[in-house]
């Protein structure tokens, strides 16, 4: 399936419930819910965080949340609806979110991914991310994460 024209735009407060729901179904499956609408709203309002959405027609096909610190950026969330995966949307979201880190001269970008999510780890590896460490119990004390990073 070819992706129709999609637009990358900064999220609006009204997008918070949809982003939180997608986080629950695409990322937080089987875990205690962490990214509730109020937390997504706080990220949208935070001056050092970008919340980006990929819009196709009237819907949100994917989203990413990146927080920029003094020395590194942290990718908090990145997800693409299953119907649109494999179409380059995730790569476009991540490249857009990485750009401010590069412009700011940050030393690296880090993220965590479920240790058993081989598909996500392979996606990030294709984009130049490398494993930094394994973090036992990262997800609600239940599941390990793999911390990955790269220079912007």
- CA distance to 110, 130, 142, per residue, from 17 (Å): 25, 32, 25
Domains along the chain? 6-111 (3.40.630.30)
21 is catalytic: no
Q: Find the length of the chain.
A: 152
pLDDT of residue 3: 52
| Residue from 112, 129, 133, 143 carrying the catalytic annotation | 112
pLDDT of residue 1: 43
pLDDT of residue 98: 97
In whole angstroms, give the CA distance from residue 97 to residue 75: 8
Evaluated on CA atoms 9, 26, 61, 20, the torsion sign reads: negative
Token pair, residue 120, equals 């996500």
| Residue from 28, 41, 98, 124 carrying the catalytic annotation | 124
Residues of the chain with pLDDT under 70: 1-5
pLDDT of residue 152: 84
124 is catalytic: yes
């Amino acid at each position: 399936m070819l992706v129709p024209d999609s637009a990358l735009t900064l999220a609006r407060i009204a997008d918070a419930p949809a982003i939180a729901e997608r986080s629950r179904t695409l990322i937080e499956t089987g875990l205690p819910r962490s990214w509730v609408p109020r937390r997504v709203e706080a990220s949208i309002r935070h001056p050092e965080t970008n919340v980006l959405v990929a819009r196709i027609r009237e819907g949100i096909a994917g989203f990413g949340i990146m927080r920029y610190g003094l020395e590194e950026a942290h990718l908090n969330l990145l997800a693409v609806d299953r119907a649109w995966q494999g179409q380059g949307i995730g790569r476009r979201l991540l490249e857009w979110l990485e750009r401010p880190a590069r412009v700011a001269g940050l030393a690296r970008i880090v993220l965590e991914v479920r240790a058993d999510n081989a598909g996500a780890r392979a996606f990030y590896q294709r984009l130049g991310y490398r494993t930094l460490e394994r973090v036992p119990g990262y997800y609600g004390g239940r599941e390990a994460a793999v911390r990955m990073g790269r220079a912007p």
